[in-house]
Amino acid sequence: MARLIISADGPERFTVWKEAFAKAAPDLTVCSWYAPETEVLPSDYVLVWQPEDEHYAALAQVKAILCTGAGVDHLLQHPDFPLHVPLVRMGGEQTAQLMADYVTWAAISLNRDARTWALQQQRHEWVYNSVARTTAETRIGIMGLGHLGGYVATHLARMGFQVAGWKRSRATLPDVQVYVGQEALPDFLSRTDILVNLLPSTPHTRDLVTLKFLENLPRGAGFINVGRGEHVVQQDLLQALNTGLLSGAVLDVVAPEPLPHESPLWDHPRITVTPHTASHASAYWQAKYIAQSITQLERGVTPALLCNPHTGY
Protein backbone atom coordinates (compact mmCIF):
# COMPACT_ATOMS: atom_id res chain seq x y z
CA MET A 1 0.00 0.00 0.00
CA ALA A 2 1.34 3.46 -0.95
CA ARG A 3 2.44 5.83 1.80
CA LEU A 4 2.17 9.61 1.55
CA ILE A 5 4.26 11.80 3.84
CA ILE A 6 2.77 15.24 4.37
CA SER A 7 5.34 18.02 4.54
CA ALA A 8 3.06 20.77 3.12
CA ASP A 9 1.96 23.60 5.43
CA GLY A 10 4.15 22.52 8.38
CA PRO A 11 3.03 20.39 11.35
CA GLU A 12 0.08 22.72 12.15
CA ARG A 13 -2.15 21.58 9.30
CA PHE A 14 -1.39 17.85 9.45
CA THR A 15 -4.71 17.08 11.17
CA VAL A 16 -6.61 18.86 8.39
CA TRP A 17 -4.76 16.86 5.72
CA LYS A 18 -5.18 13.60 7.64
CA GLU A 19 -8.94 14.08 7.89
CA ALA A 20 -9.18 15.07 4.21
CA PHE A 21 -7.28 11.95 3.07
CA ALA A 22 -9.29 9.71 5.42
CA LYS A 23 -12.41 10.83 3.53
CA ALA A 24 -11.00 11.12 0.02
CA ALA A 25 -8.66 8.09 -0.06
CA PRO A 26 -9.13 5.81 2.97
CA ASP A 27 -6.71 3.19 1.53
CA LEU A 28 -3.77 5.57 1.43
CA THR A 29 -1.41 5.55 4.43
CA VAL A 30 -0.74 9.11 5.48
CA CYS A 31 1.86 10.32 7.96
CA SER A 32 3.49 13.57 9.00
CA TRP A 33 7.00 14.55 7.89
CA TYR A 34 7.36 16.18 11.29
CA ALA A 35 6.54 13.16 13.51
CA PRO A 36 9.81 11.95 15.13
CA GLU A 37 9.19 8.33 14.10
CA THR A 38 8.73 9.16 10.37
CA GLU A 39 11.60 7.86 8.29
CA VAL A 40 11.50 8.78 4.57
CA LEU A 41 11.76 5.65 2.39
CA PRO A 42 12.38 5.29 -1.39
CA SER A 43 8.88 3.84 -1.81
CA ASP A 44 7.25 6.95 -0.30
CA TYR A 45 5.37 9.82 -1.91
CA VAL A 46 5.74 13.29 -0.38
CA LEU A 47 3.28 16.19 -0.44
CA VAL A 48 4.98 19.61 -0.39
CA TRP A 49 4.37 23.31 -0.84
CA GLN A 50 7.51 25.21 0.22
CA PRO A 51 9.87 22.68 1.83
CA GLU A 52 12.50 23.88 4.24
CA ASP A 53 16.08 23.90 2.87
CA GLU A 54 17.17 20.93 4.99
CA HIS A 55 14.35 18.75 3.58
CA TYR A 56 15.61 18.72 -0.02
CA ALA A 57 18.19 15.97 0.55
CA ALA A 58 15.48 13.56 1.71
CA LEU A 59 13.19 14.58 -1.20
CA ALA A 60 15.84 13.23 -3.57
CA GLN A 61 15.16 9.71 -2.18
CA VAL A 62 11.41 9.38 -2.76
CA LYS A 63 9.29 7.83 -5.51
CA ALA A 64 7.49 11.07 -6.44
CA ILE A 65 6.86 14.56 -5.09
CA LEU A 66 3.35 16.01 -5.22
CA CYS A 67 2.84 19.75 -4.90
CA THR A 68 -0.21 21.44 -3.38
CA GLY A 69 0.21 24.24 -5.98
CA ALA A 70 -0.22 24.21 -9.76
CA GLY A 71 2.81 26.49 -10.10
CA VAL A 72 6.06 24.73 -9.16
CA ASP A 73 8.53 27.47 -10.14
CA HIS A 74 9.63 27.96 -6.52
CA LEU A 75 10.61 24.27 -6.29
CA LEU A 76 12.42 24.13 -9.63
CA GLN A 77 14.38 27.29 -8.80
CA HIS A 78 15.73 25.79 -5.57
CA PRO A 79 19.36 24.69 -6.16
CA ASP A 80 18.81 21.40 -4.32
CA PHE A 81 15.53 20.36 -5.94
CA PRO A 82 15.96 16.75 -7.20
CA LEU A 83 15.10 17.07 -10.91
CA HIS A 84 15.24 13.27 -11.40
CA VAL A 85 12.25 12.69 -9.06
CA PRO A 86 8.79 12.88 -10.75
CA LEU A 87 6.98 16.07 -9.70
CA VAL A 88 3.18 16.27 -10.00
CA ARG A 89 1.38 19.64 -9.95
CA MET A 90 -2.03 20.33 -8.38
CA GLY A 91 -5.06 20.20 -10.65
CA GLY A 92 -8.53 18.75 -10.84
CA GLU A 93 -12.04 19.88 -11.55
CA GLN A 94 -12.62 21.98 -8.42
CA THR A 95 -9.35 23.90 -8.83
CA ALA A 96 -10.22 24.70 -12.47
CA GLN A 97 -13.81 25.66 -11.61
CA LEU A 98 -12.65 28.02 -8.86
CA MET A 99 -10.22 29.67 -11.27
CA ALA A 100 -12.97 30.06 -13.89
CA ASP A 101 -15.26 31.62 -11.23
CA TYR A 102 -12.53 34.04 -10.16
CA VAL A 103 -11.66 35.18 -13.69
CA THR A 104 -15.36 35.59 -14.55
CA TRP A 105 -15.85 37.73 -11.42
CA ALA A 106 -12.72 39.79 -12.21
CA ALA A 107 -13.69 40.34 -15.87
CA ILE A 108 -17.20 41.48 -14.96
CA SER A 109 -15.79 43.66 -12.15
CA LEU A 110 -13.50 45.38 -14.65
CA ASN A 111 -16.32 45.87 -17.17
CA ARG A 112 -18.62 47.36 -14.49
CA ASP A 113 -15.79 49.28 -12.77
CA ALA A 114 -16.65 47.68 -9.43
CA ARG A 115 -13.51 49.13 -7.83
CA THR A 116 -15.04 52.61 -8.23
CA TRP A 117 -18.28 51.41 -6.61
CA ALA A 118 -16.28 50.13 -3.60
CA LEU A 119 -14.43 53.44 -3.23
CA GLN A 120 -17.66 55.44 -3.60
CA GLN A 121 -19.32 53.32 -0.93
CA GLN A 122 -16.41 54.02 1.46
CA ARG A 123 -17.03 57.77 0.89
CA HIS A 124 -20.87 57.41 1.05
CA GLU A 125 -21.11 58.77 -2.51
CA TRP A 126 -24.04 58.00 -4.84
CA VAL A 127 -22.62 58.52 -8.33
CA TYR A 128 -23.78 56.75 -11.51
CA ASN A 129 -21.17 55.22 -13.80
CA SER A 130 -21.82 54.02 -17.32
CA VAL A 131 -20.86 50.53 -18.44
CA ALA A 132 -17.82 50.27 -20.72
CA ARG A 133 -18.64 46.95 -22.37
CA THR A 134 -21.18 44.15 -22.18
CA THR A 135 -19.98 40.55 -21.96
CA ALA A 136 -20.74 39.94 -25.63
CA GLU A 137 -18.74 43.02 -26.63
CA THR A 138 -15.70 42.02 -24.56
CA ARG A 139 -12.69 40.38 -26.17
CA ILE A 140 -10.86 38.37 -23.52
CA GLY A 141 -7.30 37.21 -24.17
CA ILE A 142 -5.83 34.46 -22.00
CA MET A 143 -2.06 33.96 -21.86
CA GLY A 144 -1.50 30.27 -21.12
CA LEU A 145 -4.06 27.76 -22.33
CA GLY A 146 -3.03 24.79 -20.20
CA HIS A 147 -4.95 22.91 -17.53
CA LEU A 148 -6.38 26.11 -16.02
CA GLY A 149 -6.23 28.52 -18.97
CA GLY A 150 -7.97 26.04 -21.28
CA TYR A 151 -10.77 25.48 -18.77
CA VAL A 152 -11.20 29.21 -18.11
CA ALA A 153 -11.25 29.99 -21.85
CA THR A 154 -13.98 27.46 -22.60
CA HIS A 155 -16.00 28.65 -19.59
CA LEU A 156 -15.80 32.33 -20.62
CA ALA A 157 -16.69 31.48 -24.23
CA ARG A 158 -19.79 29.65 -22.97
CA MET A 159 -20.72 32.79 -21.02
CA GLY A 160 -20.69 34.83 -24.22
CA PHE A 161 -17.29 36.56 -24.08
CA GLN A 162 -15.21 36.65 -27.28
CA VAL A 163 -12.25 34.53 -26.22
CA ALA A 164 -8.74 34.06 -27.57
CA GLY A 165 -5.70 32.43 -25.99
CA TRP A 166 -1.95 32.47 -26.44
CA LYS A 167 0.35 29.47 -25.99
CA ARG A 168 3.55 27.91 -27.27
CA SER A 169 2.26 24.94 -29.26
CA ARG A 170 -0.69 24.48 -31.63
CA ALA A 171 -4.07 23.42 -30.22
CA THR A 172 -7.76 23.74 -30.93
CA LEU A 173 -10.40 24.65 -28.36
CA PRO A 174 -14.12 25.08 -29.11
CA ASP A 175 -15.03 28.78 -29.64
CA VAL A 176 -11.55 29.97 -28.67
CA GLN A 177 -9.17 31.58 -31.15
CA VAL A 178 -5.69 30.22 -30.47
CA TYR A 179 -2.57 32.34 -31.11
CA VAL A 180 0.74 30.47 -31.08
CA GLY A 181 4.23 31.66 -30.26
CA GLN A 182 6.10 34.93 -29.93
CA GLU A 183 5.33 36.18 -33.45
CA ALA A 184 1.57 35.96 -32.83
CA LEU A 185 1.75 38.01 -29.63
CA PRO A 186 1.20 41.54 -31.09
CA ASP A 187 -1.95 40.40 -32.97
CA PHE A 188 -3.23 38.58 -29.88
CA LEU A 189 -2.73 41.65 -27.68
CA SER A 190 -4.18 44.16 -30.16
CA ARG A 191 -7.54 42.31 -30.21
CA THR A 192 -7.74 42.00 -26.39
CA ASP A 193 -9.94 44.20 -24.15
CA ILE A 194 -9.21 42.21 -20.99
CA LEU A 195 -5.90 40.38 -20.69
CA VAL A 196 -5.72 37.37 -18.34
CA ASN A 197 -2.34 35.99 -17.31
CA LEU A 198 -2.36 32.25 -16.61
CA LEU A 199 1.19 31.45 -17.60
CA PRO A 200 3.61 29.44 -15.49
CA SER A 201 6.65 31.32 -14.18
CA THR A 202 9.64 30.25 -16.30
CA PRO A 203 12.78 32.03 -17.55
CA HIS A 204 10.79 32.83 -20.76
CA THR A 205 7.78 34.35 -19.02
CA ARG A 206 9.21 36.26 -16.04
CA ASP A 207 9.10 40.09 -16.52
CA LEU A 208 7.06 39.55 -19.70
CA VAL A 209 4.47 42.23 -18.88
CA THR A 210 6.30 45.54 -19.37
CA LEU A 211 5.02 48.95 -20.46
CA LYS A 212 6.11 48.20 -24.04
CA PHE A 213 4.17 44.93 -23.91
CA LEU A 214 1.04 46.62 -22.53
CA GLU A 215 1.20 49.29 -25.26
CA ASN A 216 0.07 46.58 -27.71
CA LEU A 217 -3.36 46.43 -26.00
CA PRO A 218 -6.22 48.76 -27.01
CA ARG A 219 -6.15 51.89 -24.81
CA GLY A 220 -8.24 51.38 -21.63
CA ALA A 221 -7.88 47.59 -21.56
CA GLY A 222 -8.17 45.66 -18.28
CA PHE A 223 -5.63 43.23 -16.79
CA ILE A 224 -6.20 40.19 -14.59
CA ASN A 225 -3.13 38.50 -13.10
CA VAL A 226 -3.70 35.00 -11.76
CA GLY A 227 -0.37 33.59 -12.97
CA ARG A 228 2.56 34.86 -10.92
CA GLY A 229 3.63 38.30 -9.69
CA GLU A 230 7.05 37.76 -11.30
CA HIS A 231 5.45 37.97 -14.76
CA VAL A 232 4.85 41.70 -14.30
CA VAL A 233 7.22 44.66 -14.01
CA GLN A 234 5.31 46.42 -11.25
CA GLN A 235 6.48 49.99 -12.00
CA ASP A 236 5.39 49.57 -15.61
CA LEU A 237 1.97 48.29 -14.56
CA LEU A 238 1.51 51.33 -12.29
CA GLN A 239 2.56 53.66 -15.11
CA ALA A 240 0.10 51.99 -17.50
CA LEU A 241 -2.72 52.47 -14.96
CA ASN A 242 -1.72 56.06 -14.10
CA THR A 243 -1.68 57.12 -17.76
CA GLY A 244 -4.95 55.43 -18.76
CA LEU A 245 -3.24 52.87 -20.95
CA LEU A 246 -4.95 50.34 -18.67
CA SER A 247 -8.33 51.15 -17.09
CA GLY A 248 -8.03 48.66 -14.23
CA ALA A 249 -6.27 45.60 -12.87
CA VAL A 250 -7.27 42.69 -10.67
CA LEU A 251 -4.22 41.08 -9.07
CA ASP A 252 -4.43 37.76 -7.26
CA VAL A 253 -0.66 37.31 -7.44
CA VAL A 254 2.05 39.87 -6.75
CA ALA A 255 5.77 39.95 -6.04
CA PRO A 256 6.68 39.59 -3.27
CA GLU A 257 3.94 37.72 -1.40
CA PRO A 258 2.51 38.61 1.04
CA LEU A 259 2.25 42.10 -0.47
CA PRO A 260 4.24 44.47 1.82
CA HIS A 261 2.09 46.79 3.92
CA GLU A 262 3.60 49.90 2.31
CA SER A 263 3.08 48.76 -1.32
CA PRO A 264 1.34 51.35 -3.57
CA LEU A 265 -0.78 48.53 -5.04
CA TRP A 266 -2.97 48.34 -1.90
CA ASP A 267 -4.54 51.80 -2.22
CA HIS A 268 -4.44 52.33 -5.95
CA PRO A 269 -7.91 53.40 -7.13
CA ARG A 270 -7.67 51.26 -10.28
CA ILE A 271 -6.35 48.06 -8.62
CA THR A 272 -8.15 45.26 -6.78
CA VAL A 273 -5.83 42.98 -4.79
CA THR A 274 -6.73 39.49 -3.55
CA PRO A 275 -4.40 37.24 -1.50
CA HIS A 276 -3.36 34.51 -4.01
CA THR A 277 -6.60 32.70 -3.46
CA ALA A 278 -8.18 32.44 -6.91
CA SER A 279 -8.31 28.66 -7.06
CA HIS A 280 -7.52 27.45 -3.57
CA ALA A 281 -9.50 24.18 -3.53
CA SER A 282 -10.63 22.56 -0.26
CA ALA A 283 -8.30 20.05 1.42
CA TYR A 284 -10.79 17.27 0.52
CA TRP A 285 -10.66 18.04 -3.24
CA GLN A 286 -6.89 18.44 -3.17
CA ALA A 287 -6.57 15.11 -1.33
CA LYS A 288 -8.80 13.42 -3.91
CA TYR A 289 -6.66 14.73 -6.77
CA ILE A 290 -3.38 13.80 -5.05
CA ALA A 291 -4.61 10.28 -4.27
CA GLN A 292 -5.71 9.85 -7.90
CA SER A 293 -2.23 10.89 -9.11
CA ILE A 294 -0.59 8.39 -6.71
CA THR A 295 -2.82 5.59 -7.99
CA GLN A 296 -1.77 6.46 -11.55
CA LEU A 297 1.92 6.47 -10.61
CA GLU A 298 1.55 3.12 -8.82
CA ARG A 299 -0.02 1.67 -11.99
CA GLY A 300 2.70 3.07 -14.23
CA VAL A 301 0.32 5.64 -15.80
CA THR A 302 1.73 9.15 -16.34
CA PRO A 303 -0.38 11.74 -14.48
CA ALA A 304 -1.68 14.55 -16.74
CA LEU A 305 0.06 17.22 -14.66
CA LEU A 306 3.49 15.65 -14.40
CA CYS A 307 5.93 18.57 -14.54
CA ASN A 308 8.55 18.68 -17.27
CA PRO A 309 11.62 20.11 -15.49
CA HIS A 310 13.07 21.23 -18.85
CA THR A 311 10.16 23.53 -19.73
CA GLY A 312 9.48 24.42 -16.07
CA TYR A 313 5.76 23.54 -16.12
Chain positions contacting ligand NDP, by CB under 6 A = 70-71, 144-149, 166-169, 198-202, 204-205, 226-228, 252-253, 276, 278-279, 313
231 is catalytic: no
Q: Name the 3-class secondary structure at 138.
A: coil
For ligand NDP, the closer CB: 58 or 189? 189
Residue 270: C-alpha distances to residues 45, 116, 212, 236 (Å):
44, 8, 20, 14
For ligand NDP, the closer CB: 63 or 168? 168
What lies within 8 Å, CB to CB, of 10 at 6+ separation is 34
From the CB of 223, what's the least distance to ligand NDP, in Å?
A: 14
CA distance 274 to 221: 20
Selecting among 3, 89, 155, 228, the annotated active-site residue is 228
Q: How many residues does the chain have?
A: 313
The residue at minimum Cβ distance from ligand NDP is: 146
For ligand NDP, the closer CB: 70 or 241? 70
From the CB of 169, what's the least distance to ligand NDP, in Å?
A: 4
From the CB of 53, what's the least distance to ligand NDP, in Å?
A: 22
CA distance 71 to 63: 20
For ligand NDP, the closer CB: 40 or 251? 251
From the CB of 147, what's the least distance to ligand NDP, in Å?
A: 4
228 is catalytic: yes
Give catalytic residues, as residue numbers: 228, 276
